[in-house]
A and B are shown apart, each in its own frame.
Chain A
Amino acid sequence: MRCKAAQQMISAAQDGELGVDRRAAFQAHLDGCAACRAFAARVAVAAGLVVEWEAPEPSWGAADRVMNAVTAGTGSRGAAREWLDLLRPAPLGLSAAAFALGVALTVFANGAPASDDGSPEAGNGEQVAEYSEAVSNDSIETSLLALLTEQEE
């Protein structure tokens, strides 16, 4: 077994997800390869650090609010409509809005405003409310999200 193949098995080995045959081959390689042993040790240390990342406990009453929303038949949608306004311009501004939308999709496709850059993201309940309202409307917003999903896939 080559180092590359052995290294690709490290995760599964550490998770106990290698079958008997693959485990034996993996172990045989590791026994004779100091570099892969060192790499495996470092991967294990990094994995150990990840589990120290704590998540907050839910706030008091959050589960009750979920049931209230279920009873009301609503998600977290609220009154905020800022982003819908961007998509629903006044009639006279349609061409400008279409241009803005085209630019936005181009920018989006190029990844410039991507939020997955690891930086903390602005996040609050109002923003989720806007999101919920947007996706709950079976209109242009839904179509845009579908389009973006296709682009990503």
Chain B
Amino acid sequence: MPAADDAELLLAAGRGDRNAFGVLVERYHRTVVQFVYRFLADVDRDTAEDLTQDVFVKAWEAASGFEPRAAVLTWLLRIATNTGLNYRRWRRLRRALSLASGGLVSAPDPKAGSPEGRPARADEAERVRSAVAQLPPNQRAAIVLRHFHEMSYKDVADVLETSVPAVESLLFRARRTLERELRPVASEHWPQVSGEPGAE
């Protein structure tokens, strides 16, 4: 029997079918966890999983309003992006309130960026993580969606609720920054081509 179509499952979930929603959770849980982990770029796996739980609860609550014009994964990652942005804002507010009331700002989590999320070349991976983390959120989201979820510019635009030319611009600016930030790591991989970018 062929696997049920995503949109059919989500429409069924919108009518209250938890089993149908469970299939979607099985299908996309890993994708959403890894998207959130990379999009926020400075959280550990537990936080990414907790936020992913929020994403799916919101998706369940919003399923009855889903319109099959969008792909289900695109729809889920849009919820994940908004959840990540809200979490980031809340975290900044929390820090600000903590500072204003004389409290202590949380110490960095020793688990963040721990070996569970690192490739063997840990220093290089940490530089990559740090460079990606410094990108503005919309550029970071575009990079993660394009590089790790292999989305077309159209799909990235749908997730970020923007236009294809805007996505092209976001990715260009993000990669220009990454090229600059990763030069110390990347230089050993450069092909033997001379010349600096011109400014004609």
Contacts and interface: CB of A to CB of B under 8 A. Distances in A.
Given A12-B168, A131-B87, A124 B109 contact: yes
B128 A53 contact: yes
B54 A128 contact: yes
B60 A55 contact: no
Interface residues of B, number: 101
11 contacts: A39-B196, A42-B186, A53-B119, A53-B128, A54-B118, A71-B18, A113-B96, A114-B92, A115-B88, A118-B134, A119-B42
B99 to A, nearest CB: 6
A41 interface: yes
B15 interface: no
Given A50-B143, A100-B101, A120-B112, A33 B198 contact: yes
Decide if the interface of chain A is mainly helix, strand, loop or mixed. helix
Interface stretch (B1-9, B22-30, B67-75): B22-30
Contacts of B96: 103-105, 107-108, 112-113
Which of B169, B178, B196, B200 has the most C-beta atoms of chain A within 10 angstroms of its own C-beta? B200
Interface in B132-158: 132-134, 136-137, 143, 146-148, 152-153
Interface of A: 2-4, 7-12, 15, 17, 33-39, 41-43, 45-59, 62-63, 65-67, 69-71, 73-76, 83, 86-87, 100-101, 103-105, 107-108, 112-125, 127-132, 134-135, 144-145, 148-149, 152
Contact of B117 (A42, A54, A70): A54
A131 B134 contact: no
B86 A120 contact: no
A132 B49 CA distance: 13
A43 to B, nearest CB: 5
Contact of A12 (B47, B90, B113, B153): B153
A87 B60 CA distance: 30
Contacts of A120: 42, 108-109, 112-113
B50 A42 contact: no
Contacts of B78: none
Contact of B178 (A3, A47, A74): A47
Give the top 4 A-B pairs by smallest Cβ distance, nearest first.
Answer: A122-B106, A113-B95, A120-B112, A123-B47
